[in-house]
Amino acid sequence: MNPTPWLVAVTAVAVISDAMLLPFYPQFFAARFGVEAPSHTGAYLAMSCLVVLLALPAWARLARRVGTLRLLIGTQLVAGALSLSCAVITSLPWFWGLSLAMLVAKASYLLVYPYLMNFAPRDRHATLIGVLSVVVHAGGILGAMVGGLVLEHWQAAQVFRVMAISDALQVAVCLLLLKRGRAPHAVPAIPPTPGTSGAILRLGLVMLLFYFSAFLARPFFTQYWELASDLPGEALAGTVFAIPGGVAVALLALDLLGRRPGGEAIVVPLAIGLIGLLLQASGEVVAILAGRLLFGWALFRVTVRLEVRIFQLSTPARYASDFSKIHVFQGLGVLVASWGAGRLVDAQGLASPFLVAALGFVLCALAHRLLLARVEATPARSTGPVSARS
């Protein structure tokens, strides 16, 4: 029994669950608690991101003691119970406390990512990371659709009951894998080779710049498209917004057919992404569409190549720990982008995030060259895939 498809399915379920309310928190707070202030929604989303960033390193340390699957069973049971509580709570302060605690528990599912790498040989890491990248893109789109349907036909609180069902499914998959003996042996603690920890942190800085630039234009893109195109309809705007996700799926299909281009360089993809951002900033419909295609190509290639680098610089014993460190930098980039986008649009207009993101891509390329160009692509000590219990 190959555990990889099951664990990818766990990731997909978790991503869909997490994405259900993300586009609709303003509507949720207005309908459930009568709070319509955008600043309240922004503060809640920022705090949500922060608690996940703080929780993940702690879960990574605990997983080394109890095992990732056993940890997930406990945390997702807690998350499910807290989701059900959020569905019935009527006090806004209590909702903040319970929902943020739920997110702390849910954050543990991110450990599935490095856990999967224990089953894959290094030459398959790029393909697996590509699959997970597409899962995140497609899961986010599907989650928003499911959340929209739930909000349209039922009360907003029902979203949390759907979340609890997804938590139960994750628990069931983990129990099945443990029953079938698919939990890998704990790997021995291997001290990092000199310079490796520093390289992980330098990679984190590059990741922070990239994720900040990649996410800066997201919050206001649909509004920008509607004004630039003069074409009404949320469905059309959502379709244009999702073009990068569709490009990622197409590129993954080509990769699985064995046509993946070689090399690990990110400068060329960043340059193509920069062109895509400038095309989108032009305000012309055809240029925006072409820019979305180029931007999607660049996002997929840079994301996969940078994340492959995490596991090249790490060892199986440190996958979870190093991944959690990198995720902190990624999350900080997204957090700063989400916080700054509104202020940038207020000051400079809807096209300004594309221009600042283009500058961010330039800085990301320079940082990569200065901080990582001389770092060895492979760790000094390799242990290969971790064996599984039979």
Under 8 Å between Cβ of 24 and 151: yes
At residue 359 the predicted structure's pLDDT band, cuts being 50, 70 and 90, is: very high
DSSP string, 219-257: TTHHHHHHHHH----HHHHHHHHTHHHHHHHHHHHHIII
pLDDT of residue 390: 26
The listed range with the strongest mean pLDDT (47-51, 213-217, 311-315) is: 213-217
pLDDT at 126 over 70: no
Return the higher-pLDDT residue of 151 and 99: 99
Under 8 Å between Cβ of 206 and 368: yes
pLDDT at 378 over 50: no
pLDDT in tens, 315-351: 777 776 777 778 778 878 887 887 777 778 778 888 8
As a whole number, mean pLDDT of residues 232-250 equals: 75
Nearest to 11 by CA among 3, 1, 23: 3
pLDDT at 377 over 50: no
- pTM of the shown model: 0.71
CA 202 – CA 213 distance, rounded (Å):
17
pLDDT of residue 222: 74
CA 222 – CA 74 distance, rounded (Å):
39
pLDDT of residue 278: 94
pLDDT of residue 386: 38
At residue 196 the predicted structure's pLDDT band, cuts being 50, 70 and 90, is: low
pLDDT of residue 68: 83
Q: Which domains does the chain have, with CATH numbers?
A: 1-185 (1.20.1250.20), 193-377 (1.20.1250.20)
Return the higher-pLDDT residue of 194 and 224: 224
pLDDT in tens, 12-71: 888 777 777 766 676 678 778 888 776 677 678 778 878 887 888 888 888 888 888 889
pLDDT in tens, 381-390: 444 443 333 2
At residue 295 the predicted structure's pLDDT band, cuts being 50, 70 and 90, is: very high
What are the structure tokens assigned to 239, written together?
Answer: 């379709």
CA 168 – CA 161 distance, rounded (Å):
11
